Amino acid sequence: MGKKVLITGGTGLIGQRLTQMLLTNGYEVAFLSREKSNIPSVQVFEWDIQKGYVEEGALDNLHFLVHLAGTNVGEGRWTEERKKSILESRTESIRLIARMLAEKQIKPAAFVSASGISYYGQDTGDARNTETTPAGRDFLAHVSIEWEKAANEIAALGVRTVKLRTGIVISKDGGAIPKMALPARFGAGAPLGSGKQWMSWIHLDDMCRLYIQALENESWHGAYNAVAAPPVTNEALTKAICKALNRPQWLPNVPAFALKLAFGEMAAVVLGGNYVVNERIADETGFVYRYGDLESALREELS
């Protein structure tokens, strides 16, 4: 068997594709899941974050650890209960593993954790955000800050730790793009709010390739902006989606007040934006994007 990679949140968008790539590359893949299930070629172990339980054997022969678990930010209104779930599903989950690793004196070769470009704030206007830009102060920034602090608890065990601050993932199978493409398919594509907010994006395959690079390459450490270049405005993204679908864009912008009425505080996810630059990936690694421009990324997924 190949080296064992244990993934939290493995059934999500990134987790599923990453699993395919890892298996193709000869790795052994295991999931931590709230429910036992049969997934081809994957060993599934149960865990219960509230009870502090991880099924026996999950950490055995562990070589790499990937943390993707977390309540979906873009589904459902942000009630206080949901906000708590968004935060704790990301932080308490990995703290549980950190405790287990310490107790069992297990030290994986590397740990890669998801994070978000919302680390810089839900809306940073035209500011250029690099990995050295200070964190924001709103709810999603707080989530990303605490997410990375939790990851640091595994780093404190002497495990090489990488945090990938993820932008909008371009995929037909989930995330923001199918939701934006649906009205566009019927000729009803329209920018959201002003349409001028910056969208920093990355194709799903490149995102998963970054995870594998971060696991395999011992020079990777700390936080990286996991985005392609350059960012585009919401209006440009909408036009590119319509072009990939060969559909017109003729509707006016969806006004901000309507989005706030429909989604409440969560509307900040689509009304805000970040101009995020992949400075460390460009300057410190030899990573080459397969989808370095938006049109090719969307054409691959939507045409």
The 10s digit of each residue's pLDDT in 189-200 is 788 888 999 999
In a domain, 294, yes or no: yes
What pLDDT is stored for residue 60 in this prediction? 96
The domain tally of the chain equals: 1
Residue range 130-143, pLDDT digits in tens: 999 999 999 999 99
What is the residue-wise DSSP string for 202-247? EEHHHHHHHHHHHHH-TT--EEEEE--SS-EEHHHHHHHHHHHHT-
Q: Could you tell me if residue 222 is inside a domain? A: yes
What value does the mean pLDDT of the chain take? Answer: 93
Q: Are 129 and 165 in contact (CB under 8 A)?
A: no
pLDDT digits (tens, 9 = 90+) for 206-246: 999 999 999 999 999 999 999 998 899 999 999 999 999 98
Give CA–CA dist 210/34, Å, rounded: 26
Q: Report yes or no on 78 lying in a domain.
A: yes
- Cα 43 versus chain centre, distance: 23
pLDDT in tens, 94-120: 999 999 999 999 999 999 999 999 999
Residue 41: partners with Cβ closer than 8 Å, 6 or more residues away: 23, 29
State which amino acid sits at residue 247: R
Residue 253, in any domain of the structure: no
Residue 251 has pLDDT above 80, yes or no: no
Q: Is there a domain that residue 255 lies in?
A: no
Specify whether the CB–CB gap between 33 and 58 falls below 8 A.
no
Does residue 98 form part of some domain?
yes
Q: Which of 235, 241, 225 is nearest to 294 (CA)?
A: 241
**How many Å apart are CA 56 and CA 53, to the nearest integer?**
9
The CATH number of the domain where 85 resides is what? 3.40.50.720
User: What's the rounded mean pLDDT across residues 269-295?
Assistant: 93
Q: What's the mean pLDDT in 152-170?
A: 97
pLDDT at 1 exceeding the cut of 70: no
Residue 47 three-state SS: strand
Write down the pLDDT at residue 181: 87
Give pTM, 2 decimals: 0.95
pLDDT band at 67 (very low <50, low <70, confident <90, very high): very high
Which structural domain range is residue 134 located in?
4-235+262-302
Identify the band that residue 250 occupies on the pLDDT scale cut at 50, 70 and 90.
Answer: low
Residue 247 lies in a domain: no
Rounded Cα distance between 86 and 78, Å, is 9
Q: Is residue 159 part of a domain?
A: yes
Residue 188 has pLDDT above 80, yes or no: no
* Nearest alpha carbon to residue 100 among 159, 160, 169: 159
**Residue 267 pLDDT level (bands cut at 50, 70, 90):** confident
Strand order through the sheet with 28-33 = 53-54, 42-48, 28-33, 4-8, 62-67, 110-116, 160-166, 222-226
